[in-house]
Structure 1
Amino acid sequence: MSAPTARTTGEITTGEIEVHRCTMTVVRSGGWSWGPDPRGLVRQVVDALPEVLEDHFAEHLAGDGPDVEITEPVTVTVRPGGPGRTGRGGAPFEVHVAPVRVAELPADRSSAEPMPFEEAFLPVRPPWSPPPTGALFTELAERNELDTFLALLPDHSLHVYLLALLGDDDASAGRLLAELARRALLIGAMEALTEVLPEPLRDAPPGEALTEFFRDHVASADREEVARLAGALLDAGGLPDQPGRTAEPPSPAAGDPPVSRTTAREVRVRSVLPFLLAGPLARIGYLDAIGPALAGIELAEEAPLFAAALAYKVLGATVRGWRRTEQDREAAAVFAGLDPPVPEERLTDFARQAGPALPLLDGVLAFSVCRGHDPADPLLIAGRDDGLLMVDAQGMFPIAWTGETARLLPYWQACGRPPVLICDGPLPPGALRELAAAGVPFMTAVRPLRGDPVTRLPWRTPLWTTGDGLGSGRPDPRLATELPGHAARLADLVTALTVERRAIPLADDGGLERTVTLAATLGLSTIAWTLWQGRETPHPLLSLSRFADLEATVRFEPDVVRVSIPLGRRHADLLRGGLLADVPDVVWLDGRTLTFSGG
């Protein structure tokens, strides 16, 4: 080793010693093993070098002189092989160790875990950024699903993302503008916009031709003109009292620092369940949609807050509706890649700002469930928090949670117009009447209001159905025997994930709470369906109860986050079910890959 410790003027004086060459020999004794961390021996040698030099030159270092430290680079020459090993040793290679910087140590230095020696020589990881907003819309367009997807979005989200796409993806922006125009046509508002519309658009025919007209207009017009037209269409076709409507996308509160990313190297968490959600959500494209959705409202850097809210949905119950245990706070922070605890006020601010992005994530989730639904199986609807929750009766896969009955109809149509069982819960006014008017065949034990077009069935308990109870538009009477069981399972799910567990208890708006509830439920349902379908009735709460106390060790590396699960029956079940596959490009982990192993 060559390690100068101080400058010299030629003559050795007190406190001025320069070491030109130093050889330290590490001797193995008492067995064949080099210990649990052989690679760490190099770091131990380098760390011990100043003290060894100080002891060696103690007679020349008078009194309380300066500390001995490495101020120049150290080169360690490693010779693979050696006596007692078969085969020829490889050529020597050098490992360069940077000098020690003279700096004041922080107060908590003793508690920080040092970087492993081998990681110090890895190349610097280039900055990672999530895909742009247009990536999500382009992918949907390639699958011929964009128009159907846009029909699910509220007016405000269409307007916000139209502005975000202008200049970057004019083709998708034109589709969003055409959707706003289509809604204005449906309510007869286009005539009032004659003076606002450019000349080529005033006589544009409806349908696909209208979309082409608006797409060409966006490509040729300047941003200000398109934004002005979009605002006029929004005012003409949107609801005047739509909450959260603004002219521009919301931005993070001024002065808020970025969320603090974790500096820990290895952490033990009480529950691995949040990490198990990542795989099922990645399979349906949900994880890939988070980055573009948040980038469109300039919140991509806040993605870890979304992850923390998602984790809280499958951790312990909140006491008194808001209090969490220290273990749950730490587990949520580790899952999100943040230093614990995650500030509650930051979660609340994020819930307020993320409103326009949430319908995009809900739509991606709903599309995946609707594509896999069998029209012969019923859907379940229950009233909750001034809205309606729709789930697939088989497996309790969530589909949508909306505040308006009419917004459920596109999802019902995408599922193949199956029969619907309406379970107990406070329904919005006129919900049964709107469903019946749309031709939805439903059955319910909820007592109807006067004027609801339903007929009571001759059954041992009060049940009502659509029509006169005799026509072909009514559900199969055999569903009457299944309704109580489905209703009980849905009630248990609603209680566990919406009453007992609150992700953002201080938020005024429940949009983010509903979104992470849907995402967590889908993950739990996928786990239950994969592991226990065919053996017992799969239910999300089975996953919640059976994996809630499964601990794990999480290790953060530059390119990978490794989750080690104790070996046993549960690990074996997850491995056989394919639920421990790698999850690449996790947005809240700065694009790192999430990997699972046993140990």
Structure 2
Amino acid sequence: MTGPPARTAEETGGITVHRCTVTVVRRGGWSWGPDPRALVQNVIDTLPELLADHFAQQLAGDGPDVEITEPVTVTVRPGGPGWPGRTRAPTEVRFAPVPLAEALGEEPPGAVSFEESFAATAGPRAEPVAAALFGELAERGELDALIALLPEESLRAYALALLGADDAAAAHLLAELVRRARTGGPVEPQPGHLAAYLGSAGREEAARLVRSLTGPHDRAAGEPAPRAGGTVAARAGGEVRVRSALPFLLAGPLARIGYLDAIGPALAGVELAEEAPLFAAALAYKVLGATARGWRRGEQDSEAAAAFAGLEPPVPEERLTAFARAVRPALPVLDGVLALSVCRGHDPADPLLLTGTGDGLLLVDAQGVFPIAWAADTAALLPYWRECGRPPVLVCDGPLPPGSLRELASADVPFLTGVRPLRGDPVARLPWRTPLWTGTTRRRPDPRLAAELPGHADRLAGLVTALVTERRAVPLARDAALERTVTLAAALGLSTIAWTLWRDREIPDPLPALNRFADLEATVRFEPAAVRVRVPMGRRHADLLRGGLLADVPDVVWLGGRTLTFSGG
């Protein structure tokens, strides 16, 4: 990245910078954050203070001006007080290659004017690691919330993956495992004590601790699931025309919430980082054509999914099926990152929507139909409801698991529904023109929500039909975990597109985004450093450009770290 020139002499206390080049390259980590360009601006904003502090002694005197004409390199390690939200070690500054004392002379000058080349330096792109993801979540105060959402299978896998690399995060995972194992036990595990132990224990000994705490399971802790044979050829160059650019349009919205950057570390934690293109292919299938007979795909859909994943077509179904089985422990981490991002932005005064899908319950934000979570029963969705601020819930038509209304009432969830209750459900009939019921809890939803329920239910039903019933990402997989994960991710991307483009003129709904951009063709060109997507000029391109949905997406994991760029033509 290249930033604007540094500040003027008035802002730097007598130091004049004639030319300044700022380059920021990430070393490790899992995310550029919501605004990558702000990193450069942070460096620019911090530079005047750093220079003034470094030359404070020279600036205090009344000596003559000194000009430095040779390049001076400043290395800044982010994390000091000038970097919002950071709590790491203070910023370090190093000047090279000119010896400053020799350049300035023995007499302290009154002002210094020099030509500078400034760089926040870093090495080559690092491979994604799970520790970076969990460390970032801890820094944002979301680690414990995510851990509480993970099943034991995921806790075991990541506790082992983090041993040594990040014992503190591993200790939090182990502490949650112990807490669940000690039902009613008087002593709660202390992550600090566990971290101290893990820091001194060897990996084998720590792994034995994991197994002793978690009990038997289907395969050894940390052992990767079997993979299908054969290889999937990556696409290094060339150009291809795809029937639909919609999968590529999902990348920007998912990158904004950190989901895109979480994919690599989450897969690395279960030793599947190199299989990231298969995850991308499954995601693409969710917004391409409907699968005929529940499993057959069109040839053009296969080509578009392969292009989005950076692979040569076709993507072998047996590899995708094997990946769906192997990746299962990593999926709750991605689901949790997505859910927490939506919960953070939810207004507790707005309702949530709940519907049955045949194999579980789907919870979404009513405003924009943003998906939150997909779980097997009501109890598994209650943590997400609490994270959203305990809002009212509108229960829509769908195959609800038996006892769902009773479980909502027992958890004191204020709900409203048109679904006919079962015998014994604690509900009360509302005086409304159509049959409606509410829970007999202390809190009851605003009766005015009754007028909004039919519209919300129709939009949610349309989304379920389009993404759950008509489109299958991994139709041959026995387990639906990957299917659910990519459904949530695709729905969030579509909802973000709809909200960005149309919220001022119509009720935002992800289904119009799916329908209106499904036939937007594109030319995809693969280059060593970038994958360039060119869409036809017209109304749709103009709308996407105006909404900021054609911004570059850097460091896409399944494209080998290449940048995804968009243009019109």
Instruction: Confirm or deny a common fold (TM above 0.5).
Output: yes
Moved over 6 A (4+): none
The answer on 1:144 being equivalent to 2:141 is: yes
**1:226 alignment partner AA:** A
State the match for 1:180 in structure 2: 177
Moved more, 346-355 or 176-185: 176-185
Cα distance in 2 for residues equivalent to 1:595 and 1:228: 47
Cα distance in 1 for residues equivalent to 2:218 and 2:228: 23
Larger gyration radius, structure 1 or structure 2: 1
- What secondary structure is seen at the aligned counterpart in 1 of 2:207? helix
Task: State the identity as a percent.
Answer: 72
Cα distance in 2 for residues equivalent to 1:263 and 1:514: 30
- What secondary structure is seen at the aligned counterpart in 2 of 1:585? coil
**1:558 alignment partner AA:** P
Residue by residue over 1:408-447, the C-alpha shift from the partner in whole angstroms, topping out at 9 and shown as x without a partner, is 1111011111000011111122221211111110111112
The answer on 1:376 being equivalent to 2:349 is: yes
Cα distance in 2 for residues equivalent to 1:254 and 1:225: 28
Cα distance in 2 for residues equivalent to 1:361 and 1:523: 14
Q: CA deviation at 1:252?
A: 5.3
Q: CA deviation at 1:562?
A: 0.5
Cα distance in 2 for residues equivalent to 1:414 and 1:127: 38
State the match for 1:273 in structure 2: 246
The answer on 1:523 being equivalent to 2:520 is: no
The answer on 1:496 being equivalent to 2:466 is: yes
Cα distance in 2 for residues equivalent to 1:294 and 1:546: 32
- Structure 1 residues 117-516: aligned runs within 5 Å: 130-185=127-182, 187-188=183-184, 190=185, 206=188, 210-235=190-215, 245-251=218-224, 253=226, 256-467=229-440, 473-516=443-486
Closer, same or farther: CA 487–533 of 1 in aligned 2, 3 Å: same
Cα distance in 2 for residues equivalent to 1:289 and 1:255: 24
Closer, same or farther: CA 290–249 of 1 in aligned 2, 3 Å: same
Cα distance in 1 for residues equivalent to 2:149 and 2:453: 28
CA RMSD of aligned residues (A): 1.7
Query: Structure 2 length normalisation: TM-score?
Result: 0.76
Cα distance in 1 for residues equivalent to 2:290 and 2:563: 29
Residue by residue over 1:107-160, the C-alpha shift from the partner in whole angstroms, topping out at 9 and shown as x without a partner, is xxxxxxxxxxxxxxxxxxx98553211000000111111111100111110011
State the match for 1:578 in structure 2: 548
Residue by residue over 1:321-361, the C-alpha shift from the partner in whole angstroms, topping out at 9 and shown as x without a partner, is 11111110000000000010101111100001000000000
Cα distance in 1 for residues equivalent to 2:500 and 2:563: 23
Cα distance in 2 for residues equivalent to 1:519 and 1:583: 16
Structure 2: gaps (5+ residues): 1-122
Is 2:267–2:327's contact at 8 Å kept on the other side of the alignment? yes
Closer, same or farther: CA 184–251 of 1 in aligned 2, 3 Å: closer
State the match for 2:506 in structure 1: 536
Residue by residue over 1:270-297, the C-alpha shift from the partner in whole angstroms, topping out at 9 and shown as x without a partner, is 1000000000000000011100010111
The answer on 1:546 being equivalent to 2:546 is: no
The answer on 1:592 being equivalent to 2:562 is: yes
Q: How many residues align?
A: 447
- What secondary structure is seen at the aligned counterpart in 2 of 1:399? strand
Is 1:259–1:302's contact at 8 Å kept on the other side of the alignment? no
Is 1:250–1:353's contact at 8 Å kept on the other side of the alignment? no
Cα distance in 2 for residues equivalent to 1:128 and 1:415: 36
Is 1:129–1:591's contact at 8 Å kept on the other side of the alignment? no
Cα distance in 1 for residues equivalent to 2:124 and 2:468: 37
Is 1:258–1:302's contact at 8 Å kept on the other side of the alignment? no
Cα distance in 2 for residues equivalent to 1:147 and 1:314: 33
Q: CA deviation at 1:225?
A: 3.1
- What secondary structure is seen at the aligned counterpart in 2 of 1:340? coil
Residue by residue over 1:232-291, the C-alpha shift from the partner in whole angstroms, topping out at 9 and shown as x without a partner, is 3323xxxx8xxx843324535367233211255111111000000000000000011100
Is 1:130–1:587's contact at 8 Å kept on the other side of the alignment? no
Cα distance in 1 for residues equivalent to 2:415 and 2:226: 45
Structure 1: gaps (5+ residues): 1-125, 192-204
